[in-house]
Chains A and B, each alone.
Chain A
Amino acid sequence: MSIKTEEMVLNMGPQHPSTHGVFRLKLHVNGETITKAEPVMGYLHRGSEKLAENFIYTQFIPYTDRLDYLNAMTNNYIYCAGVEKLLDWEIPERAEYLRVITMELNRIASHLVWWGTYLLDIGALSPFLYAFRDRDICLDRLNEISGARMTFNYMRIGGVKWDAPDGWIEKVKESVKELRENIAEYDRLVTGNEIFRARTIGVGKLTKDQVINWGLSGPIARGSGVNVDLRKTEPYSIYDRFDFDVPTREEGDVFARYKVRIAEMHESLKIIEQACEQIPSEGDIIHKKGARIMMIKPPAGEAYTRAEASKGEIGVYVVSNAKTKPYRVKLRRPSFVNVSILQDMLVGENIQNLVAIFGSLDVVLGEVDA
C-alpha cells in the first residue's frame, strides 16, 4: 500500500536559529523530500551602496565592517584597495604586513565561528565552546591593534590606522602556536566522529560545473575541486611573498568543505608566522597623502578589485568622477552569490539534510542583504 502525500509549503525562518540571521527559506515539500526551495532575503538591507554615494571616501570604511561582520578586516581591505587602485598609491611595506596579519587572524576567527556554529546546528554542543574560546584569542589580538573586537575600522585608504602596540608581534607569534595546537585538537575531537561523518559525507554534493556556473567561490568551490584562491591565482597585497598551499578536495560534499576550512586555518597560521618574521621593525604605516588628506579625490575612472575573503571572492567596483564622493560603489558579496545555489541543490534532498547543507555554505546575512 502506498501512502498518498501532497505537497505543502513550509517556511524556514525568517527567525530560525540555524540561519544565524534573518533569512527565510520557502520550502515546498512532498513528504520529507524538498521539491522546491525559494530563498527570501532582504530583511537586513541597509542600502550600503546608496549610502556610499553620499559619503566622502574615507567615511564609508566603517560601513564595510557591517557587511560580513565575522570577517570585517577583508571588507575594510577590499574597499581601501579599490580606491587605492584608482589613486595609484603605493602602500608602505609595514602597512602591507600589518594588513596581511590582521586579515589572516580574522580569517581564522571567521572559520572558527563557522566551525563552532555549524557543529552546533547539527547537534554537537561542546565544539561551539572550544571554537569561541579560540576565536577570542584572535579577537583579543585584533582588539589590541584596532580597538574593536568585530567592527574594526582598521584599514585606511593608503595604509592602516594605527601601528602595532609594543610587543604585539611577539604576542601574535605565541597565539599562532597556541592556535595551531588547538585546531589540531579539533580535528581529533570531531572529524573522526561516527555520527558527524554519517551526517556529512556524501551529503550536499556540488559538482565542479555547478560551482563554476553558479559563480560560487571560497571554500565551497575548493571543496569541489576548483582550485581558485585569489591569494594564489591573482596575488594582491603581498601574498606572493608567502609560502602556503591552497587546500582543495574533489568530493564536493559537506565533509569536503569542512576539511577545506580546517586546512585553511592551518595555512593562515603559516602565513601569519611568515609575516611576523618578515615584517620590517619600523616604517610608515600609511601613505604620506593618506595620512594628511581627508578629502580624497581619485581621478575619474572605474576599477573592479577582488580579494579572497573567508566566504569567497569579495569584490568592489568603484566608479569615480574626480569628486570627493564616489559616484558608485558596488560590493560583490560572496555570501549573496553563494546562497543562490540553495534553489538548485536543495531540490530532491531530504528535509533532515537541509540544515547540514545550509550551514556548510557559511552564509552571513549581513553580507547577503548589504
Chain B
Amino acid sequence: MSQEVLDLVVEKVHGFLGEEVLAFEEPEPPAEEPEEEEKPARRKKPEPKVEKPADLNFGRPMIILDSKKWTLELAKMFRDDEELQFDFLSCVTGVDYEEHMEVIYNFYSTTKDHYLYVKVKTPRDNPSVVSVEPLWKAADYMERETYDLFGIDFPGHWNLRRILLQDDWEGHPLRKDYITDKKALGLD
C-alpha cells in the first residue's frame, strides 16, 4: 500500500510542478574490474546507499525536495487533494547534515490512514524553507522550535521568534558547528 501512496504522491508532485524533480536515475554500474587474486574477504564493505528522491523509508513513503520547489501551493495540494488528504501534521524537525540542512515534515492522513515524510533540502548558508503554518497550525510551535535550535528561516510564519531559549541567546545549539565549550561561552 505504501508503494502505491508513494507513486501517487510522485505523480501528483510532478503534475503540479510540471517537471520530474523526484525521478531517480539509476547510477551506472561500475566498470567491471579485472578479478583480483582471491583474498579471503573477511569484511565486506557495505555499498554506500544512494539516496533516491522518492523512496520507501521503513515502509513509509518519503520524498526529498529542494527548498526552491517547496511552496505553500504545493503544501496546500498535499492537504486538499482528494486522494492525498494529509490533514494531520505530526512532526516538524530539522537535521544539520553539515553540507546542507533539511527540514522534515511528517504528514498523516486521518481520513485515508497513510503517511508521508517530506524532506526539504536547504543550503547551510541562509537556510530558508517556506512555512506551512498558514495551512497546519500544528507547525506553529514546531517551526519556531526548529528556527530556535537550527536557525532555519521560515518565511510566511506569523510569529517566528525563539521559543525554548531566551530571546537574547546567541547561536543555534543544534547546528553541528555550535561551540559547546563552556570557556568560549564565558560560563566557566
Contacts and interface: CB of A to CB of B under 8 A. Distances in A.
Interface of A: 41-42, 45, 47, 49-50, 53, 85, 212-216, 226, 228, 233, 299-304, 306, 313, 315, 317, 319, 327-328, 330, 332, 336-337, 339-340, 344, 369-370
Interface stretch (B1-9, B21-29, B86-94): B86-94
Q: Which of A47, A53, A233, A330 has the most CB of B within 10 A?
A: A330
B117 interface: yes
18 contacts: A41-B164, A42-B162, A42-B164, A45-B165, A49-B174, A50-B173, A214-B140, A215-B88, A215-B137, A215-B139, A299-B46, A306-B91, A317-B93, A332-B93, A336-B141, A339-B141, A344-B137, A370-B164
Given A213-B87, A328-B174, A337-B141, 5 more contacts: A45-B165, A303-B57, A339-B141, A340-B138, A344-B137
Interface in B103-141: 104, 106, 110, 113, 117, 136-141
Nearest to B145: A336
B57 A332 contact: no
Contacts of A214: 137-138, 140
Contact of A304 (B110, B117, B162): B117
A230 B138 CA distance: 18
Contacts of B87: 212-213
B137 A213 contact: yes
Which 5 residue pairs of A and B lie closest in terms of their CB atoms, listed nearest first? A215-B138, A330-B93, A42-B164, A340-B141, A332-B91
Contacts of A332: 90-91, 93
Nearest to B180: A50
A330 B141 contact: no
B165 A226 contact: no
B95 interface: yes
A233 B113 contact: yes
A87 to B, nearest CB: 12
Nearest to A54: B180
Contacts of B139: 215
* Residue with the greatest number of chain B CB neighbours at <10 A, chosen from A85, A215, A319: A215
Contact of B95 (A42, A301, A328, A370): A328
Nearest to B60: A304
Contacts of B72: none
A215 B90 contact: yes
A226 B173 contact: no
Contact of B165 (A42, A49, A339): A42
A280 to B, nearest CB: 28
Given A50-B173, A300-B49, A45 B138 contact: no
Given A42-B166, A50-B173, A315 B141 contact: no
Contacts of B137: 213-215, 340, 344
A214 B135 CA distance: 10
A324 to B, nearest CB: 17
A315 B163 contact: no
Contacts of A304: 60, 90-91, 104, 106, 117
Interface string B131-157: 000001111111001000100000000
Contact of A49 (B113, B140, B149): B149
A214 B141 CA distance: 10
A336 B142 CA distance: 8
A347 B90 CA distance: 25
A299 B137 CA distance: 35
A285 B63 CA distance: 37
Contact of B110 (A226, A302, A319, A337): A226
Contact of A228 (B57, B110, B141): B110
A303 B59 CA distance: 10
